């Protein structure tokens, strides 16, 4: 197998790796700014310099040429090479800053140049704490600046588009953002303008950076030049918890990181998954923080003689229990939801079956023509395939409306799905029926329901979703409800503020914890009135049961979902034919 | 009334000829911008968009090219554009003094245009005439070399009267045949 020597240590490699990526893959730290594994390689920041050489081949002996001490003679490239664009070859010798004073000096001097016009505003910069320039300056940079002249001033606070703000002074012209719009989102909206020390990225005059993927440029910006208009100045990164999750605004199921502080979701960033979304996600998925934080249903609500009253959990449980006794199974309708998780739909179906209702219905939410063939899918809900695999009965919106508005239906139990808001039903369809709505946000459907049960959403519990391509992926609880505790639930991340903050600090409150429980737990509690509950204690256990009872979910468990980039449950051919 | 810019049939034929010279569609952007500037006198954003449309290129890319070169006028300029070089050699030989002298004389700053629309001043990077420093170029045309304040006065007065300075041939030492004192 071909070999490469990096800092006198031998590594074997396959194929044609690039030296920088190979070093990163092998856990060797190396500075760089402009390189990004999913973009083209311009090698313009010059930060990843290494000394590189290849062994000399002696044609006469047909072997490597050796010196007196029997070592291979290495012919080094006359100048330093950028590791990002250098392809590894057999026998190549690389010297990094660990073994070469020259490379160490080069890293320091390149950084000194990059910092010549970079403002010293880290204390007020959003990128501070997760800034490659800041980190690498600490590790490899000069102790101080020798430049005493005035820095070049460029425009600040330019609104490039509705979601992205540029501070041109902070820009180091790595062109990652420009390459993103050229190669990934293909809108070609950005360019570098002007030249020399005056250049910075911009849009063409009269246009704006309204790319539906624009916020990815904020993520890949290695400095604080591009910042999110929404997240700007909201929080320091080290005060937040970062929890893995799944984007539920779309059928694609982009992998995300959910950033919380004091139980508010402050931002969502994409998480790498080569099989689903690579490093990217659409902008609208990040706006989901509003749904997670605002307009939440907290405490059950009940319509009583025309009044809407806050009710107790006990009352909410007994009310549904009584109604399930009052009506016969043929008078009940159970509606699952492609917006809710696999576990919630499964438990609803199981309890419906226990009561005698053979079928649980759902209707997908497809916006024809809204997909772009990349990460934005026509399917507006994250779990349509999951509902199908669980054997829920799929109805077209019209059939679903007919089913619900049937006067024989007296009791309607629904999982979170704003059926009125999205135009499947109207309020008149629900009149005269006892409607139980399990949801996390107030909407038109919850307003029309008789009993509203607040349930935990995808960032308040671990739960799984099957995306349009049939890949099951799971979320992790990121946000506490008033019944969960991140110090007791070992799966939840505990950040600096959670660990050291107290209620007496003015930045830690209990205000943002919602009075809600998962939908499956509510259904279990209702059944417990008859001791007919199945005894589920966690979504992990529910998934274990799904895997053992439903052949389509064979082999799925939470540990595997954590280890692997999701598990494909449906073959590509099956997705295509459906 | 807002002016709309269009290429004529002859221009489009010319552009086709330019495009035929290059293997990809990005490359013709510079000669086509040049053609547009010759025709309209500038390449303002509307003209950039016209060029982008004609060549099927992103408007941002065309804007990037225009803003890179001081020779492309991204906004309307005066009749005479005085590009004063302020890069190293000219700077050392007094490029900034010349620039500031012209600024004071015309009452405008670099990057501005006089009210009568006659003169614009730009402080530009090296024009490759270090041997004749300090120097300036007039409207992407003639080079005025070895500038002094007196020489600037003469040039500007001449331009006001509509006289473009003559092209000056200055032999460089290594090209000079000493026996004949001519360029050899």
The ipTM of this complex is 0.88
Helix axes B95-106 and B149-160, enclosed angle (nearest 10): 40
A190: nearest CA partner in chain B: B60
> What part of A 162-191 touches B (C-beta under 8 Å)?
188-191
Beta bridge partners of A269: A257
Given an 8 Å threshold on Cβ–Cβ distance, is A188 in contact with B63? no
Mutate to test the interface with B, among A179, A182, A193 (most CBs of B within 10 A): A193
Residue A567 CB neighbour total at 10 angstroms? 20
pLDDT at A497: 85
pLDDT at A158: 95
DSSP assigned state of A195: -
Find the farthest-apart pair of alpha carbons in chain B and give their distance in angstroms, rounded: 64
Mutate to test the interface with A, among B47, B60, B123 (most CBs of A within 10 A): B60
Retrieve residue A74's tokens. Answer: 């290495």
Q: Average of pLDDT values for B143-170?
A: 93
Q: Average of pLDDT values for A364-370?
A: 95
What residues contact A509, with CB distance under 8 A and at least 6 apart?
A: A262, A503
User: Is A193 in CB contact (< 8 Å) with chain B?
Assistant: yes
Strand ordering across the sheet containing A567-568: A464-466, A471-474, A567-568
User: Is A198 in CB contact (< 8 Å) with chain B?
Assistant: no
Q: Which of B61, B68, B125 sits opposite A188 (nearest CB)?
A: B61
pLDDT at B184: 57
Retrieve residue B72's tokens. Answer: 């492309």
Whole-structure pTM value: 0.93
- Between CA A228 and CA A231 the distance in angstroms is 5
Q: Which residues of chain A does B51 touch, with a Cβ-Cβ cutoff of 8 Å? A: none
Retrieve residue A414's tokens. Answer: 């629904």
Q: Which residue has the higher pLDDT, A144 or A187?
A: A187
As a whole number, the mean pLDDT across chain B is: 92
Interface contacts (A, B; CB < 8 Å): 41
Q: Average of pLDDT values for A31-57?
A: 96
Q: Which of B59, B68, B125 sits opposite A204 (nearest CB)?
A: B59
Q: Which of 3.20.20.10, 3.10.20.520, 3.30.70.980, 3.30.70.20 is the CATH number of A122-228?
A: 3.30.70.20
Give residue A498's pLDDT band: very low, low, confident or very high (50, 70, 90): confident
Q: Å from B59 to nearest chain A CA?
A: 6
Q: Which of A195, A205, A206 sits opposite B68 (nearest CB)?
A: A195
Cβ atoms of A257 and A245 within 8 Å: the answer is yes
Give the tens place of pLDDT for each residue, B84-122: 999 999 999 999 999 999 999 999 999 999 999 999 999
Q: Which of A192, A196, A207 sits opposite B64 (nearest CB)?
A: A192
Cα B111–Cα B116–Cα B119 angle in degrees, nearest 5: 40
- Between CA A379 and CA A247 the distance in angstroms is 13
Percent of the residues in chain B that have a pLDDT greater than 70, as a whole number: 97
Residue whose pair of structure tokens reads 């092209």 in the numeric block: B167
User: Is B100 in CB contact (< 8 Å) with chain A?
Assistant: no
Beta bridge partners of A465: A473
Q: Which residue has the higher pLDDT, B154 or B4?
A: B154
Ordered domains of chain B (ranges, CATH): 9-68 (1.10.10), 80-160 (3.40.30.10)
Q: Å from B25 to nearest chain A CA?
A: 15
Give the tens place of pLDDT for each residue, A129-171: 999 999 999 999 998 889 888 999 999 999 999 999 999 999 9
What's the half-sphere exposure (Cβ side, CA atoms, 13 Å) at A534?
Answer: 20
Which H or E run contains A413?
A: strand A411-415
Given an 8 Å threshold on Cβ–Cβ distance, is B64 in contact with A193? yes
Give residue A71's pLDDT band: very low, low, confident or very high (50, 70, 90): very high
Cβ atoms of A231 and A267 within 8 Å: the answer is yes
Residue ranges of chain A assigned to CATH 3.40.50.740: 303-460+515-577
- Between CA A324 and CA A341 the distance in angstroms is 23
- Between CA A465 and CA B30 the distance in angstroms is 51
Q: Which residues of chain A does B49 touch, with a Cβ-Cβ cutoff of 8 Å? A: 204, 206
Given an 8 Å threshold on Cβ–Cβ distance, is B63 in contact with A202? yes
Given an 8 Å threshold on Cβ–Cβ distance, is B60 in contact with A204? yes
- Would the pLDDT of B146 be above 50? yes
User: Is B20 in CB contact (< 8 Å) with chain A?
Assistant: no
What residues contact A321, with CB distance under 8 A and at least 6 apart?
A: A526, A529, A530
- Between CA A186 and CA A202 the distance in angstroms is 16
DSSP assigned state of A183: I
Residue whose pair of structure tokens reads 């107030």 in the numeric block: A442
- Would the pLDDT of A323 be above 50? yes
- Would the pLDDT of A506 be above 80? no
User: Is A155 in CB contact (< 8 Å) with chain B?
Assistant: no
In 3D space, the residue among A119, A128, A106 whose CA is nearest the CA of residue A151 turns out to be A119
Domain A3-114 classification at class level: alpha beta
Q: Å from A212 to nearest chain B CA?
A: 17
Peptide bond connecting A323 to the previous residue in cis, omega within 30 degrees of 0: no
Using only C-alpha atoms, what is the Rg of chain B?
Answer: 19
- Would the pLDDT of B50 be above 80? yes
pLDDT at A501: 79
Percent of the residues in chain A that have a pLDDT greater than 90, as a whole number: 91
A136 in helix, strand or coil? Answer: helix
Cβ atoms of A74 and A55 within 8 Å: the answer is yes
Residue whose pair of structure tokens reads 């460029």 in the numeric block: A154
Give residue B37's pLDDT band: very low, low, confident or very high (50, 70, 90): very high
A332 in helix, strand or coil? Answer: strand
DSSP assigned state of B22: S
Given an 8 Å threshold on Cβ–Cβ distance, is B49 in contact with A204? yes
User: Is A192 in CB contact (< 8 Å) with chain B?
Assistant: yes
Give residue A509's pLDDT band: very low, low, confident or very high (50, 70, 90): confident
Residue ranges of chain A assigned to CATH 3.30.70.20: 122-228
Cβ atoms of B73 and B122 within 8 Å: the answer is no
> What part of B 109-128 touches A (C-beta under 8 Å)?
125
What residues contact B159, with CB distance under 8 A and at least 6 apart?
A: B80, B118, B119, B138, B165
User: Is A40 in CB contact (< 8 Å) with chain B?
Assistant: no
Residue whose pair of structure tokens reads 């934005």 in the numeric block: A376
Give residue B1's pLDDT band: very low, low, confident or very high (50, 70, 90): very low
Residue A154 CB neighbour total at 10 angstroms? 20
Please report the beta strands in A200-345, taking only residues with DSSP state E, as ranges in sequence order: 200-203, 226-228, 241-246, 255-261, 264-270, 301-304, 307-310, 332-335
Using only C-alpha atoms, what is the Rg of chain A?
Answer: 28
Q: Average of pLDDT values for B125-141?
A: 93
- Would the pLDDT of A228 be above 50? yes
What residues contact A409, with CB distance under 8 A and at least 6 apart?
A: A331, A332, A333, A403, A433
Q: Which of B59, B60, B67 sits opposite A194 (nearest CB)?
A: B67
pLDDT at A116: 93
In 3D space, the residue among A458, A415, A410 whose CA is nearest the CA of residue A430 turns out to be A410
User: Is B68 in CB contact (< 8 Å) with chain A?
Assistant: yes
Percent of the residues in chain B that have a pLDDT greater than 90, as a whole number: 86
Q: Å from A187 to nearest chain B CA?
A: 8
pLDDT at B2: 58
DSSP-H helix ranges across A375-417:
384-389, 397-405
CATH 3.30.1490.20 fits A303-460+515-577, yes or no: no
pLDDT at A578: 65
Beta bridge partners of B122: B83
Q: Å from A235 to nearest chain B CA?
A: 33
Given an 8 Å threshold on Cβ–Cβ distance, is B60 in contact with A191? yes
B61: nearest CA partner in chain A: A191
pLDDT at B3: 66
Given an 8 Å threshold on Cβ–Cβ distance, is B62 in contact with A204? yes
pLDDT at A305: 86
- Would the pLDDT of B180 be above 80? no
Q: Which of A247-251, A345-349, B128-132, B157-161 has the lowest mean pLDDT?
A: B128-132
Q: Which of B52, B60, B62 sits opposite A203 (nearest CB)?
A: B60
pLDDT at B170: 79
Give the tens place of pLDDT for each residue, A387-408: 999 999 999 999 999 999 999 9
A50-69: buried (b, 16+ CB within 10 Å) or exposed (e) per residue?
bbbbebeeeeeeeeeeeeee
Q: Which of A191, A196, A206 sits opposite B64 (nearest CB)?
A: A191
Residue whose pair of structure tokens reads 């989102």 in the numeric block: A185
Residue ranges of chain A assigned to CATH 3.10.20.740: 3-114
DSSP assigned state of A203: E
Q: What percent of the residues of chain B are helix, what percent strand, and what percent coil, each to the nearest 5? A: 45, 10, 45
Given an 8 Å threshold on Cβ–Cβ distance, is A189 in contact with B58? yes
Helix axes A519-528 and A342-355, enclosed angle (nearest 10): 20
């Amino acid at each position: 197998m071909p070999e490469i020597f990096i800092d006198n240590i031998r590594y074997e490699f396959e194929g044609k790796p690039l030296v920088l990526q190979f070093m990163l893959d092998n856990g060797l730290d190396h500075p760089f700014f402009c390189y990004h594994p999913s973009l083209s390689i311009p090698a313009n920041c010059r930060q990843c310099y290494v000394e590189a050489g290849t062994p000399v081949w002696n044609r006469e002996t047909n072997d490597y040429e050796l010196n007196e001490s029997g070592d291979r003679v290495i012919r080094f490239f006359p100048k330093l090479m950028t590791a990002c664009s250098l392809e590894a070859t057999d026998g190549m010798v690389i010297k990094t800053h660990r073994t070469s004073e020259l490379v160490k000096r080069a890293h320091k001097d390149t950084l000194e140049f990059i910092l010549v016009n970079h403002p010293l505003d880290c204390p007020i910069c959003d990128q501070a704490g997760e800034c490659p320039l800041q980190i690498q300056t600490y590790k490899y940079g000069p102790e101080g600046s020798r430049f005493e002249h005035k820095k070049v001033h460029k425009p600040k606070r330019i609104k490039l588009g509705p979601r992205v703000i540029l501070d041109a002074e902070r820009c180091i012209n790595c062109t990652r953002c420009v390459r993103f719009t050229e190669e990934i989102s293909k809108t070609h909206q950005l360019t570098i303008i002007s030249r020399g020390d005056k250049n910075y990225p911009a849009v063409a005059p009269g246009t704006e950076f309204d790319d539906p993927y624009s916020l990815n440029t904020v993520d890949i910006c290695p400095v604080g030049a591009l910042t999110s208009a929404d997240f700007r100045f909201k929080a320091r990164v080290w005060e937040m918890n970062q929890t893995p999750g799944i984007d539920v605004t779309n059928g694609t199921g982009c992998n995300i990181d959910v950033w919380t502080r004091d139980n508010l979701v402050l931002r969502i960033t994409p998480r790498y998954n080569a099989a689903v979304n690579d490093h990217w996600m659409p902008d609208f998925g990040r706006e989901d923080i509003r749904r997670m934080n605002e307009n939440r249903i907290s405490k059950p609500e009940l319509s009583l003689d025309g009044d809407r009253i806050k009710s107790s959990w006990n009352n909410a449980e007994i009310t549904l229990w009584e109604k399930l006794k009052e009506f016969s199974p043929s008078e009940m309708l159970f509606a699952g939801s492609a917006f809710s998780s696999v576990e919630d739909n499964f438990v609803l179906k199981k309890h419906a079956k226990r009561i005698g209702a053979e079928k649980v219905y759902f209707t997908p939410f497809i916006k024809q023509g809204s997909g772009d063939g990349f990460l934005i899918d026509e399917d507006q809900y994250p779990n349509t395939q999951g509902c199908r695999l669980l054997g829920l009965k799929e109805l077209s919106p019209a059939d679903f409306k007919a089913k619900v508005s049937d006067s024989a239906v007296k009791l309607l139990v629904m999982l979170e799905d704003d059926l009125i808001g999205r135009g499947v039903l109207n309020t008149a369809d629900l009149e005269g029926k006892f409607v139980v709505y399990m949801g996390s946000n107030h909407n038109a459907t919850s307003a029309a329901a008789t009993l509203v049960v607040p349930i935990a959403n995808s960032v308040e519990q671990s739960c799984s979703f099957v995306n349009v391509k049939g890949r099951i992926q799971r979320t992790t609880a990121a946000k506490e409800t008033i019944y969960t505790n991140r110090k007791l639930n070992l799966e939840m991340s505990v950040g600096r503020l959670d660990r050291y903050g107290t209620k007496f600090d003015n930045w830690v409150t209990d205000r943002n914890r919602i009075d809600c429980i998962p939908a499956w737990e509510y259904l279990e509690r209702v059944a417990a009135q008859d001791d007919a509950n199945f005894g589920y204690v966690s979504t992990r256990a529910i998934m274990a049961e799904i895997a053992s009872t439903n052949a389509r979910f064979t082999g799925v468990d939470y540990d595997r979902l954590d280890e692997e980039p999701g598990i494909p449950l449906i073959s590509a051919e099956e997705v295509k034919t459906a | 009334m807002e002016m709309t810019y269009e290429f004529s049939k002859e221009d489009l034929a010319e552009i086709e000829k330019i495009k035929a010279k290059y293997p990809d569609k990005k490359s013709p952007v510079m000669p086509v911008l040049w053609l547009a500037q010759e025709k309209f006198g500038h390449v303002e954003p509307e003209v950039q968009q016209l060029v982008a449309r004609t060549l099927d290129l992103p408007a941002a890319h065309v804007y990037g090219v225009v803003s890179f070169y001081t020779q492309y006028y991204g906004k309307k300029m005066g009749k005479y554009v005085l590009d004063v070089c302020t890069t190293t050699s000219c700077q050392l030989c007094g490029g900034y003094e010349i620039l500031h002298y012209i600024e004071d004389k015309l009452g405008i700053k670099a990057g501005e245009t006089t009210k009568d629309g006659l003169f614009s001043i730009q402080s530009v990077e090296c024009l490759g005439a270090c041997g004749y420093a300090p120097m300036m170029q007039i409207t992407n045309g003639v080079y005025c070399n070895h500038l002094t304040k007196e020489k600037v006065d003469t040039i500007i007065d001449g331009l006001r009267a509509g006289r473009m300075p003559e092209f000056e041939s200055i032999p460089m030492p290594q090209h000079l045949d000493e026996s004949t004192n001519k360029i050899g």
